[in-house]
Amino acid sequence: MSRGAPEWPQTFEDGRSRQDPRGTQAASVYRYLLDLDDELAQAFDLRMRIVVRQVATVLVVDLPAGAPDESAWPKIDSRGFGALVIDGVLAIETFLGDRITTELVGSGDLLQRWEPDPDELLEPRCECRVLVPSRVAILDGDFAERVRPWPEIGHALLRRGARRAEDLNLLRAIACNPRLEVRLTLVLWHLAARWGRVEPGGIRVPLPLTHRLLGRLVGAERPSVTHALSRLSHAELVSGHADEWHLHGTLAEHLAALSERADERESTVPDLRP
């Protein structure tokens, strides 16, 4: 198969398809994927990057904050890679009975359209909620066919999936800690590593994390999260509100302070042994 660029709808410089008469009213545009994802672009030398760039054209969909209507998601056929988050933050929520667990995904994460497994006995349900305005690139079957001569793209996307699985394993480990204050501290620092902004005296996490959402991340009810955050605030470790959180000091200082508080509580428990 030739590595030359195949026929593809021409685009304006701003990415709008020339076949789209609606102009700026369109909710989606065609863009060059290598312009949007520097890590993918770095997989090729400069000469090959120019060739691949012309082929790796994707439909980019703008998603406003909130729970997007199903019609906002173009159909992703089984031949494609899925949807790649270009920027923004989305919450993937899994429902099982009366319990809900949440995973946050952002730039570089690869998503698949969730479809129930007919052999699954537990009957879970999955929904996506957009926390901040986001963009996703649709890597459908046509895209997969066009980039087939360059396995570097498929390999990079496979690593993205593995990285997301590793992140979920870390969240599982955090949720295993018996102390809610520790779970909240660890998950906030985990999110800060990706989305945090350094500020004097600590790190700011500019994410819309409500007490309910934090509870779904660490496996706790909202009232318990509220009380735990109050204790962390009283200890001058964490401050903020549902639009952004501030972590004061370092992770090591937080864990040391929490360990100290645990030792103090244990020392106040009377010894009832005979």
Q: C-alpha angle with apex 248: 235 to 92, nearest 5 degrees? A: 100
Residues 33, 40 contacting (CB under 8 angstroms): yes
Residue at 105: amino acid letter: V
Mean pLDDT over each residue of the chain, to the nearest integer? 84
Domain boundaries, given as residue ranges, for the chain = 23-174, 177-268
Residue 82 is inside which H or E element, if any? strand 82-96
Instruction: Report the share of the chain in percent with pLDDT over 70.
Output: 81
pLDDT at 251: 92
Residues 212, 259 contacting (CB under 8 angstroms): no
Given a cut of 60, whether residue 4 has pLDDT beyond it is no
Return the CATH fold of 177-268: Arc Repressor Mutant, subunit A (1.10.10)
Q: 246: closest CA among 256, 236, 255?
A: 236
Per residue in 203-248, pLDDT tens? 999 999 999 999 999 999 999 999 999 999 999 999 998 889 999 9
Return the CATH fold of 23-174: Jelly Rolls (2.60.120)
Per residue in 245-272, pLDDT tens? 999 999 999 999 998 876 566 554 444 4
